[in-house]
Amino acid sequence: MKWFVWLGCFWSLSLFSDVDSGSILLYNDSPFILTATIQASDGTYLGESTIQPNQQKNFTTNLSPTKYKHPGRPDVSLTPYTVIWQCPSEGYYSMCTDVSPGSLIRANDCPGYHFCNPKQKSEAPASKIKKVK
């Protein structure tokens, strides 16, 4: 009877797991608004998300093979991921390499500067025409 219960538990859990998806949890534990850019192991751009301070986002990608053939390269080479945390002022906050699917990635846990410069003030307006009342 015990093996039947274990078999039932294993079978029900396998229904909810998807072996073709790779997801990571991104957590912005910095005081800055950061953009997390996710790249595959071969440098391919997978996506990006702008994340507010103390917020988290789940990034999911499909790991199933595609019909695209490229000589000398494997069908799928997405993992391990690289997560690049970027500041709004176009600087880099930090970067994590060798990120495994299912990982929690915090901006302050990755090596980097851990600081964002303030945004530069915008340039003068294109027109200097003054309104007259």
pLDDT tens, position by position, 33-88: 999 999 988 888 888 999 999 999 999 887 655 555 556 555 555 789 999 999 99
Quick one: average pLDDT of 13-36? 77
Residue 80 near residue 41 (C-beta atoms within 8 A): yes
Quick one: average pLDDT of 98-107? 93
pLDDT over 60 at 95, yes or no? yes
Q: Which residues pair with 38 in a beta bridge?
A: 47, 83
Closest CA to 77 of 26, 43, 48, 38: 43
Structure tokens at 32: 């800055």
Residue 62 near residue 100 (C-beta atoms within 8 A): no
Per residue in 31-43, pLDDT tens? 999 999 999 888 8
d(CA 91, CA 74): 33
Residue listed under structure tokens 């695209």:
68
Residue listed under structure tokens 């990982």:
103
